[in-house]
Amino acid sequence: MATVKLYNQTGDEKAVKIQQGLAKHKGFVPEVFQAMGRNGDFLEAMLNLAKKAGAGLDPKTKELIAIAVSAVNGCGYCVDAHRAAAKGIGITDEEITAAIEVAAMMSAFNKFNDALDLTHDLKAE
């Protein structure tokens, strides 16, 4: 259950218009966009950020990154949302699991290396 008020087409005028478009496209307004729905400028900025982030990546790569980062950050909402998007563009469960494995491996190495304050001796030229 949300810990903030959700605005399902009840926020400011701009937010309502954006949410109406989301509802038309998805059949409902996802809670993440209801939580942002108080302020249409903020909602618009976040949707634009989501659209612009990863420009130049193919949709498959972008979704796999989103799933992997969400998994290691512990955001089940985002894992579910991006897994649904990934499945919708043909990404397999095996590819999703592989991406999460890579993210988990990197998270483990990151924590280990950070805890030991190792010298950065492996660098690109």
Instruction: Report, as residue numbers or ranges, the catalytic residues.
Output: 75, 78
User: Residue 93: what residue type?
Assistant: D
Residue 36's nearest CA partner among 25, 24, 44, 28 is: 44
> Would you say how long the chain is, in residues?
125
Which parts of the chain are beta strand (E)? Answer: none
Angle, CA of 21, 27 and 28, to the nearest 5°? 80
CA distances from 96 to 23, 51, 74, 110 (A): 27, 21, 15, 21
